[in-house]
Every structure is written in C-alpha cells, then in structure tokens.
Chains A and B, each alone.
Chain A
Amino acid sequence: MSNLMLVLIVLGLGAVGFVLGRSRAMSVAGGDRRKLHSLPVYYAAHVGLNTIVPALLLLFGWMIVQPMIINSSVSGMIPASAIEEGGNLSLLMSDVRRVAEGLDIAVTQGAMTVSEATNLSADADNVRDKLAAVGVALGSDVTTDTLHAAQRYRAMAATGNLWKSIVAIGAALIGMAVALRLTAVAFRARNVVERGILMVLIAAASIAVLTTLGIVLSLIFNTVEFFQLYPASDFFFSLSWNPSFSGRGGGSELGILPLLWGTLYISFIALLVAVPIGLFAAIYLSEYASNPVRSFAKPLLELLAGIPTIVYGLFALLTVGPMLVSVFGDNGALGVGWMQGGTAVMTAGLVMGIMLIPFVSSLSDDIINAVPQSMRDGSLGLGATHSETVRQVILPAALPGIVGAILLAASRAIGETMIVVLGAGAAARLSMNPFDAMTTVTAKIVSQLTGDSDFASPEALVAFALGITLFVITLGLNVIALFIVRKYREQYE
C-alpha cells in the first residue's frame, strides 16, 4: 500500500471520527447541546484530531526509521571485498536499491512472477538484461552478492510496508476509540482542541527556526571542509581573487578582500543614492503631501520594490551603463575618459540605489507617521514652523527607526546579486575608481557554483565560505539595527 494511500485512509478515518464524535457528543448530552461543556464541533474536532495526528506522526516516523534499519541490515550482507572493488559502500548500496526497485517494477509490469523475482540467481539469469527490458538501466552486471542483498532488501521492505500500514491504521482506530470513550458531558473538549492548535503554532514556529539553523549548519560544515583544503589566512587576507578553472589543479588564489571591497563599495554608492532620496520622499509623503497625492504616490513608490532584481539588472546593463559611458567614457560629454565599459561599480550602485529607495522611504514613512500627533502639536504650539517641527522634533524622534530602515536596506544591498552580475562586471579588483568594473561576493558565489566544477574542490567550496562571511556581515548589521532601535526607542507615552 503506497504512503499516499495510507495518508488518505487515515484522513478518511479522521473524517469518520469527526462525524462520530459529533453524534456521540450529542447522544451523551441527550440531544441537548447546552448540557455539554463545549460546542459539539469541539468534540468532533477532538475525535478527528486524535484519529489523524498520532497515526500520521507514527507513519512519518516509520518512513524515516524503516530505510535506516533495512540499510544497516542489508549493508551487513555485502562482503568487504566487494566494497573495495566497487569503490565504496554507498555506491554499492545504491546499486542494491536500484536492483530492488527494478525487480519491483518487473513484477508489477508482469515481466516476472513474484516467485521468479525471489528466486532469481545472478549466474543463471542475466539480471541486467531482464531489468533493462522493463526500463531499468543498470551501470554494471549484477553480482551474486548484490542480487542477494537486493532480494533481502525487497523482502524486508515488503514486510516493513505491511506492518507500517497495520500500525498506521491501527493507531488511527485506537485514537478514535479512545477519543470517543473520553467524550462525556463534562469533558473539556474545547480546551483540549485549543491545546492542539497551540501545538500546531509551536510546530510552525520551530520549523522556521530549525530551517535557519539547518542553513547555518550546512554553511558551517562546508566552510570547515573548505578551510581544510585552503588556508584560512589566505582566504581572509589575500589581496587577489584568481580561481583556476583547471578543475583539480589547485593554484587558485581565493582572497575574499577584493570581493568584499566590491560589495561594500557598490553598497555604499547604493546607499548614497537611496538614503537621501528615500528619506526626503518619506518626509514629503508623510508630512506635506495631501491625502490624494499620498494615496496615489505611495503605492506607486512601493511598486519599485516589486520589480524583480533581474529587471533592474537589465536596466543597468542596457540603459544606465551606456548612459554613464556617454558622460564619463573616453569620448564622453565630459571628455575625462574615466570609464572604459558600461559595467562598473557606479552603474550597479546607482541602479541598486534606485531599487532600495522604496525600502528606505516606505519604512521611514511608517516610522514618521508613528510619531504621535501630540509632538507636532507641541512644537507648532510653541510657534515653530512646519519645517522646524519636522527637522527638530519629528526626525530626531523617528531617527532610531530610520537608522534601522537604513541598515535593513544596507543588508539588502550587500546580499543583492542580479544587479551586480549584470551591472558591475565580473573582474575582482581592488580599485578606488567607481567607474571600474568590480565584482561582489554574491556574484562570485554564483559563478563558482554554476558550471561543472567538482563539488569537492576548493574552487567550489569557497562559495560556502563566501556565503557564511556574507551571512555574518548581514547578521551583524541586523543585530546592530535592532540594538539601535531598541536602545534609542523613544517612550512617547
């Protein structure tokens, strides 16, 4: 019985339990729902949940544990000599699983009978050809050991699946019976169901937290592996980024500093664009704009945040870059010849700045609006003009929030990829000239992991070290932002 089928059966039993629970509750109350502690629907939900939840948990647990048990039992059957021949155990085990699956398919397609499949012998029958006939291609001939292991695997899996079905359905039935027995006039079904809902909420929260933890751990493990292949001091302090593409050749120079410099330079220019424009826009929208203007302009500004970054990248590549070249390039309007090509720090920085405007303006706008009206009244009542009020009372009061907004925009800028890939070029370079092409950490993570590089080489693993560095930087920025907001949050009340 397939897992999907089992889940459907359990859910069906849950629905039956729901109906039974309701009618049971009504019958213990003698048809008068006012006598019950909770509404009938809570008794129904209680029975339904008791049917479904333990059964599904058991099912999932079983699905995790069963392959582990079968694997360890079957891998014991494979002799050490076969492991040496076949490279390593995991490769052999995947062969075993593949043969087992192939036999299953052959049986379901009718190419073999059940007894044939169980009594197959590697020497007499050409297993590889037989399986190829039903569409399962094997890399090498099947040895006796592998075939035995595969047959053992099949047998264990069949028994396991049978017991799995029995246990899951049994758990559902037992849960339903217990819940129906508990149903009584005084039973507090409402409280129990609400506790169940609380569990769901806790589970959802822990999934989010655990995922973060998982991402961090995977970064850390791969980074540790990288530092075993490549010295950490070179990674952090080398001034050149020059990965070799020969594959296993080594000789790569993987210094993070040029990339970090590019990242920070581009982010700096982006913030230089986004912070004043965003902040001034926010001040205008929240303090001066009339309601019709505000209700029209604010969504329009926020639309900027909805544009995919790749589109910004195209804008940088096709519009902003050539425009900048025509001003700062060799034959440009200024005739200064600072800029050689359209891709440059300035191009990416400008476009990224435009992308960040709505982040700064929208958050700042909300923060400025949150400054209580009594502050404005107090200042106006003392004979201050509107702009004096904004400058001397409202902005200082909103400043912590605004700093938080800017830091959020900064971490967004540091993590930005597509604009950089298209707008800033691919050359890792330490230069002060904002019209030079440079590249960033994120862009290099992309280029190190795309293509067919060996995943165990330092050239690929360096991506994880770059990733965790970036993660630490943005995490630091977020922590600082939170700290500033908390520390300087004004108590208006």
Chain B
Amino acid sequence: MEDMIQMDRAMSTEQDIKISANGVQVYYGENHAIKDVNVEIQDKMVTAFIGPSGCGKSTFLRCINRMNDTIDICRVEGDIRIDGEDIYDARVDPVQLRAKVGMVFQKPNPFPKSIYDNVAYGPKIHGLARNKAELDEIVEKALRRGAIWDEVKDRLHAPGTGLSGGQQQRLCIARAVATEPEVLLMDEPCSALDPIATAQVEELIDELRQNYSVVIVTHSMQQAARVSQRTAFFHLGNLVEFGDTDKIFTNPEDPRTESYISGRIG
C-alpha cells in the first residue's frame, strides 16, 4: 500500500500539468490585486498558497473557478488553462466550470437544508443521477469521501446546520466532491475550526489527493508543510516563490520567503 502511494507520487510528478496560469493580473477597481502571476499546478497533488493577509492568494484561488465573476468591480486579465483549455474563453460557461472546479470556503457554509439535501444539491442541479437510488449512491459516496459518512449516516435528514463546525466543513467538502470535480479549491478551510477538527480535515485533504488536484489557501505555515507537496508564496500581489514544499520551508531562494516563514514579515 505504502509502495503504491509512493509510486503514485512518483508518477504524478511526471504527470501533465492540471492548471497553468500565465501573466494573470487581477484588478479590484483601481486596486491592482494580483500582479503578473505564473503558476503551474499539477494533478493529484496538494498545492498550498501561503502569504500574509491581503497578499492576493484567495483572490488568485477565486480566479481558478471564476468566482471573481460574481464581484462587479473585479477584472481578470491573463491566461488560465485547465487541461489546456482557457477557462476565460467566451465559450466556457462559468457555471459549468464551477461544477468541474469545486470550492470549499473559509467558514463552513452548509445550506439550511438536511445533510442529504446539502450533498444532493450539486448532483441534482447538474442532473448526475437518473433516479433516487443513484442519487442515494452519489450522496453516500460523497459523504464517505468527505470522511463524515459514519457520523451522519443515521441522521441524513437532520439539518446540516446542526452539525459541529468540523463536521460542517467536512460536509461542505463532501458537497463539493459530490459533483465529481477535477480540481478542489480550498480557501482557508480550517481557519474556523478547532485543532481536532483541523486535524481531521487535514487528514481528509491528504486522502483527497488521490483523486483530485487540490489547491489550498492557508494562513498556517505548519498546515502548508503538513498537507502540501508544492507551495506558492504570495506577497503584495506577487508570486514570490513556487516550488516543492520541502524546499520552500527548508531552503527558500527568495529573502522575502525566508523572512515570512521565519516569522519576520507577515
């Protein structure tokens, strides 16, 4: 088993690039939030974005599923490709894109519906199930992937808002997974959770890596070191350094990265 994971890992580094961004610029009105970012994110790997508050890491994350489209004053320039396809092309429906690129938010945001309906929401919208039995199956599979099935299987029709914070966040991950995305974006998924729930979610992220390309924004450098294989350091809208996590944390090239991870800036 361990060997297989090792093999997996060795293979995935050679695998093709899942997301590639070239010369991405983001403006909020007059404010230039992201400056000329180039990054290549590989499949079946966890990529962490770290950096001080307001450095643009969340903004960049939201470019990958075009969530920034919902903000009127936000303008994105440059080129972002998933599997070689330009996602800002006029032919791409942002709504369809978001089904392919799932997102988990900072604060757990289950809908005020039952646990079952929370997970079934995406599949129902996209018509992934032909009948109730298939939908049940999808829900169960998603909840298992979200590592929360055992805790909720007896109360699928209880409201999702009644779960604890950590459970809610895993429910939101299960909800995102239910639409069979290829990429999973996570915007500080643990910042509203206690250490135990954080540990559970981190463990889950590590498992999700087998099926998805995961991009996680985090404030905690320890978390980035624990869960990610590749790390990007953002500072003031610039991508300062991007490389293997081990290398970023042990032997950073840029003095700014070194200052940040040693706690001198940020």
Instruction: Decide: B107 and A374 in contact? CB cutoff 8 A.
Output: yes
In the assembled complex, B260 has its CB within 8 A of some CB on chain A: no
Q: Which A residue sits closest to B110, measured CB to CB?
A: A378
Given known pairs A377-B67, A491-B161, the reply for A383 and B109 (CB within 8 Å) is no
Given known pairs A377-B67, A378-B109, A492-B161, the reply for A383 and B126 (CB within 8 Å) is yes
In the assembled complex, B179 has its CB within 8 A of some CB on chain A: yes
A-B contact count (CB 8 A): 74
Given known pairs A382-B175, A384-B95, the reply for A377 and B109 (CB within 8 Å) is yes
Given known pairs A396-B112, A490-B161, the reply for A383 and B98 (CB within 8 Å) is yes
Contacts of A374 in B (CB 8 A): 105, 107, 109
Task: Give chain A nearest CB distance to B212 CB in angstroms.
Answer: 15
Task: Give chain A nearest CB distance to B45 CB in angstroms.
Answer: 21
Our pick among A290, A380, A385, A393 for the contact of B111 (Cβ within 8 Å) is A393
The B interface, classified by DSSP as helix, strand, loop or mixed, is helix
In the assembled complex, A375 has its CB within 8 A of some CB on chain B: yes
Given known pairs A374-B107, A491-B161, A492-B161, the reply for A382 and B112 (CB within 8 Å) is no
In the assembled complex, B252 has its CB within 8 A of some CB on chain A: no
In the assembled complex, A23 has its CB within 8 A of some CB on chain B: no
A384 to B93, CA, bound (A): 11
A377 to B112, CA, bound (A): 14
In the assembled complex, A191 has its CB within 8 A of some CB on chain B: no
Our pick among B102, B112, B161, B162 for the contact of A381 (Cβ within 8 Å) is B102
Instruction: Decide: B107 and A382 in contact? CB cutoff 8 A.
Output: no
A372 to B112, CA, bound (A): 11
In the assembled complex, B261 has its CB within 8 A of some CB on chain A: no
Task: Give chain B nearest CB distance to A274 CB in angstroms.
Answer: 26
Instruction: Decide: A490 and B112 in contact? CB cutoff 8 A.
Output: yes
A131 to B98, CA, bound (A): 94
A381 to B179, CA, bound (A): 11
In the assembled complex, A379 has its CB within 8 A of some CB on chain B: yes
A372 to B109, CA, bound (A): 9
In the assembled complex, A397 has its CB within 8 A of some CB on chain B: yes
A290 to B73, CA, bound (A): 12
Instruction: Decide: A378 and B111 in contact? CB cutoff 8 A.
Output: yes
Our pick among B67, B95, B105, B109 for the contact of A385 (Cβ within 8 Å) is B95
Contacts of A392 in B (CB 8 A): 121, 125
Give the size of the chain A interface in residues (CB under 8 angstroms).
22
Contacts of A380 in B (CB 8 A): 67, 70, 98
A396 to B65, CA, bound (A): 26
In the assembled complex, B103 has its CB within 8 A of some CB on chain A: yes
Instruction: Decide: A396 and B125 in contact? CB cutoff 8 A.
Output: no
In the assembled complex, B176 has its CB within 8 A of some CB on chain A: yes
A185 to B119, CA, bound (A): 67
In the assembled complex, A388 has its CB within 8 A of some CB on chain B: yes
Task: Give chain A nearest CB distance to B146 CB in angstroms.
Answer: 14
Q: Which of B102, B112, B122 has the most CB of A within 10 A?
A: B112
Task: Give chain B nearest CB distance to A334 CB in angstroms.
Answer: 43
Instruction: Decide: B122 and A383 in contact? CB cutoff 8 A.
Output: yes
Contacts of A388 in B (CB 8 A): 125
A409 to B63, CA, bound (A): 44
Q: Which B residue sits closest to A398, measured CB to CB?
A: B112
A492 to B100, CA, bound (A): 27
Our pick among A376, A382, A384 for the contact of B176 (Cβ within 8 Å) is A382
Contacts of A393 in B (CB 8 A): 111, 121
B-facing residues in A94-152 (Cβ within 8 Å): none
In the assembled complex, B96 has its CB within 8 A of some CB on chain A: yes
A383 to B128, CA, bound (A): 13
Task: Give chain B nearest CB distance to A491 CB in angstroms.
Answer: 5
Task: Give chain A nearest CB distance to B254 CB in angstroms.
Answer: 32
In the assembled complex, B113 has its CB within 8 A of some CB on chain A: yes
Contacts of A382 in B (CB 8 A): 98-99, 102-103, 121-122, 125, 175-176, 179
Instruction: Decide: A383 and B67 in contact? CB cutoff 8 A.
Output: no
Instruction: Decide: B96 and A383 in contact? CB cutoff 8 A.
Output: yes
A377 to B111, CA, bound (A): 11
A-facing residues in B76-134 (Cβ within 8 Å): 95-100, 102-103, 105, 107, 109-113, 121-122, 125-126
In the assembled complex, B216 has its CB within 8 A of some CB on chain A: no
In the assembled complex, B172 has its CB within 8 A of some CB on chain A: yes
Task: Give chain A nearest CB distance to B174 CB in angstroms.
Answer: 12
Instruction: Decide: B172 and A383 in contact? CB cutoff 8 A.
Output: no
Task: Give chain A nearest CB distance to B162 CB in angstroms.
Answer: 8
Contacts of B99 in A (CB 8 A): 382-383
Task: Give chain B nearest CB distance to A295 CB in angstroms.
Answer: 14
Instruction: Decide: B172 and A378 in contact? CB cutoff 8 A.
Output: yes
A396 to B112, CA, bound (A): 8
Instruction: Decide: A492 and B112 in contact? CB cutoff 8 A.
Output: yes
A379 to B70, CA, bound (A): 12
Task: Give chain A nearest CB distance to B149 CB in angstroms.
Answer: 19
A393 to B249, CA, bound (A): 42
Q: Which of B97, B98, B105, B111 has the most CB of A within 10 A?
A: B111
Instruction: Decide: A381 and B105 in contact? CB cutoff 8 A.
Output: yes
Contacts of A385 in B (CB 8 A): 95
Q: Which A residue sits closest to B112, measured CB to CB?
A: A490
A-facing residues in B162-187 (Cβ within 8 Å): 162, 172, 175-176, 179
A69 to B102, CA, bound (A): 83
Q: Which A residue sits closest to B161, measured CB to CB?
A: A491
Given known pairs A384-B95, A491-B161, A492-B112, the reply for A379 and B121 (CB within 8 Å) is yes
Contacts of B122 in A (CB 8 A): 382-384
Task: Give chain A nearest CB distance to B123 CB in angstroms.
Answer: 9
Contacts of B172 in A (CB 8 A): 378
Contacts of A375 in B (CB 8 A): 109, 111-112
Our pick among A290, A372, A383, A491 for the contact of B179 (Cβ within 8 Å) is A383
* 21 A-B pairs in the complex with CB atoms less than 8 angstroms apart: A372-B109, A375-B109, A375-B112, A376-B70, A377-B67, A377-B105, A378-B175, A380-B98, A381-B102, A381-B103, A381-B105, A382-B99, A382-B122, A382-B125, A382-B175, A383-B97, A383-B99, A383-B122, A397-B112, A490-B161, A491-B161
Identify the 6 closest CB pairs spanning chains A and B, nearest first: A383-B99, A381-B103, A490-B112, A374-B109, A383-B98, A382-B122
Q: List 17 additional contacts besides A382-B179, A383-B125, A491-B161; criterion CB under 8 Å.
A: A375-B112, A376-B70, A377-B103, A377-B105, A377-B109, A381-B103, A382-B122, A383-B95, A383-B97, A383-B179, A384-B95, A384-B122, A384-B125, A397-B111, A490-B112, A491-B112, A492-B161
